[in-house]
Amino acid sequence: MDKLVIQGGGDLRGSLHVGGSKNTALPLMAAAVLADGVTTIHNMPVLKDVATFSNVIRVTGCKVTWEPDDDPSTPETITIDGSSIHHFEAPYDLVKQMRASFYMLGALLGRGGTARVSLPGGCAWGPRPVDLHIKGMEALGAEVREEAGYVIAEAPGGRLKGGHMRFEPVSVGATINVLLAAVTAEGESVLENVAAEPDVVVFGQMLQKMGARIEGLGTDTITVQGVEKLNPVEFTNCPDRIELGTYMIAAALATPARETFRITGAEPEHLGPEFTEKFRQTGVPFRVVDGEGDWSTVEVEGVDAIRPVSVETAPFPGFATDLQAQWTVLMTQADGPSTVRDTIYTDRFKHIPELRRLGADLKVTGDTVHVSGKARPLSGATVMSTDLRASVSLVLAGMVASGETNVLRVYHLDRGYERLEHKLQKAGVDIVREQYDEAHAEGVAA
């Protein structure tokens, strides 16, 4: 397996570039399946999840062209030709690798009125997450049954009728999946308590460009007037807001005082007002300036001291749950105690024992992490990634810890951060990727 080896204590200098949004890229790819023709999507991140989902789509007979080069600064393009679709299935061996593959349920139902999609499995947070997706398809008129680990859905007469669905709780994934199915239904669909995240809005904007009749994007109610078919389009993915937030936190942690670090290719509004306000309260100055093309540049100034700021996650426009692990690391370097509460995934704290191995003084009580602040310096150790955002939090901690930190199982990291070590190397971080023997690695449970 691969690991990242970080020599901590260095300064962050220069700039980092934000890649295309991971959480938007996969829904955009699913939307392309709805069109009878070639859809081209620009600014795609070079991630394992994109490669995996490309293979999921290829199983249906669609042709996917995805040939990223080795230059991390080059925006990538993917083309998906839906004209050759003939097999309306997403098999277990691919879906098990990535839960977002379940978007094929809505995409295949919307395209052909039939779908056979494996249950993802391995979902540990809360009740079975796909239940809300299935209820949404049934609300649109689908007949759904489970058979041998697969969800099989059929639209009577070959096309969904449309209907009314209220999401309880609000869910980004279920909102996207049901929208995929609703846009080609015969009648009107009203979706209430939908997710308002930028990921959903940008995805909906691509559907609109394809000919979908959607109103209410960015609000809690979306109304869809179904159309008979959607058209292939050319579309540009938005920058990754979680990557931007991560880089802002990295800059706050490691930029020398009174020096400026630049983050290019950004869309700061997608962070939401809660994150930017909390970041401002830390006393770390930042400003948004014009960048190249359609995106902005965020400039972060290093400081001598970081103020402690407590946060609580919430659906957009609240503080994103995907940034709570990184924020916890930031607060380990603050001058005083703080708390990090996650109301979305109340047990999403597998990174905490690993941060403790680096010396962080952290205590978990229910859905809240209590952070003592900079009372105890971090020092390098061998730690293990447990999920995507936890893994990047360990990289951030390794950057500010003294000595060497080995972050194991970085295949989690590769799912959501595009060529991270290459970007950090160019910004002055002493970080390399190495292979290791999992069976004999320190820090790995037997």
Residue ranges of the domains in the chain?
Answer: 2-19+239-440, 22-236
pLDDT at 187: 94
The pLDDT assigned to 71 comes to 67
The answer to whether 99 is annotated as binding is yes
Confidence of residue 128 (pLDDT cuts 50, 70, 90): low
| 344 in a known ligand binding site | yes
Model-level pTM?
0.93
Question: Dihedral sign, CA of 397, 399, 401, 403?
Answer: positive
Question: Residue 206: is it exposed, middle or buried by C-beta count within 10 angstroms (0-12/13-18/19+)?
Answer: buried
* Residue 281 confidence (pLDDT) above 80: yes
pLDDT at 97: 84
Question: Where in the sequence numbering do the catalytic residues fall?
Answer: 123
At 270, is the pLDDT very low, low, confident or very high (cuts 50, 70, 90)?
A: very high
Answer yes or no: CATH 3.65.10.10 is held by domain 2-19+239-440. Answer: yes
Evaluate if residue 156 carries a pLDDT over 50. yes
pLDDT at 72: 58
Cα dihedral 408, 412, 418, 421, rounded to 10, equals: -10
Question: What pLDDT does residue 444 have?
Answer: 66
Instruction: Spell out the CATH class of 22-236.
Output: alpha beta
3-state helix, strand, coil in the chain (%, to 5): 35, 25, 40
Q: How many CB atoms lie within 10 A of CB 234?
A: 12
**pLDDT tens digits, 383-398:** 999 888 889 999 999 9
* Residue 129 is labelled as binding a ligand: yes
Residue 122 has pLDDT above 90, yes or no: no
Share of the chain above pLDDT 90, in %: 85
Provide the 3-class DSSP secondary structure of residue 405.
Answer: strand
Residue 373, SS3? coil
Q: How far apart are CA 90 and CA 95, in angstroms?
A: 7
Q: What's the pLDDT at 125?
A: 36
Residues 327-337: pLDDT tens digits? Answer: 999 999 999 99
Q: Is there a contact between 259 and 428 (Cβ–Cβ < 8 Å)?
A: no
Residue 418 has a pLDDT of 83
Measured between alpha carbons, how far is 129 from 127 in angstroms, rounded to an integer? Answer: 6
Give the mean model confidence (pLDDT) for residues 188-207: 97
pLDDT above 50: residue 174: yes
* 2-19+239-440 and 22-236 share one fold: yes
Residue with tokens 């290719």: 265
Whether 74 has a pLDDT exceeding 80, the answer reads no
Confidence of residue 123 (pLDDT cuts 50, 70, 90): very low
78 marked ligand binding residue: no
The answer on whether 131 is annotated among ligand-binding residues is: yes
Q: Does the pLDDT value for residue 446 go beyond 50?
A: no
Residue 24 predicted with pLDDT over 90: yes
- For residues 115-134, average pLDDT: 73
For residues 60-87, give the mean pLDDT: 88
pLDDT tens, residue by residue, 75-97: 689 999 999 999 999 999 999 88
pLDDT per residue as tens digits for the range 282-325: 999 999 998 777 899 999 999 999 999 999 999 999 999 999 99
CA pair distance 311, 279, nearest whole angstrom: 10
Tens digit of each residue's pLDDT (9 = 90 or more) over 395-409: 999 999 999 999 999
148: left (phi over 0), alpha (psi -120 to 50) or beta: left
Instruction: Give the residue from 244, 255, 224 showing the smallest Cα distance to 161.
Output: 224
Does 23 count as an annotated binding residue? yes
Residue 121's pLDDT is 60
Is 367 known as a binding-site position?
no
User: Is residue 419's pLDDT more than 90?
Assistant: no
Instruction: Give CA separation, 342 vs 67, 197, 221, 345, 414, in Å.
Output: 38, 17, 25, 6, 24
Tokens at 365, concatenated: 């009580």
- Given a cut of 90, whether residue 345 has pLDDT beyond it is no
Average pLDDT over residues 35-60: 95
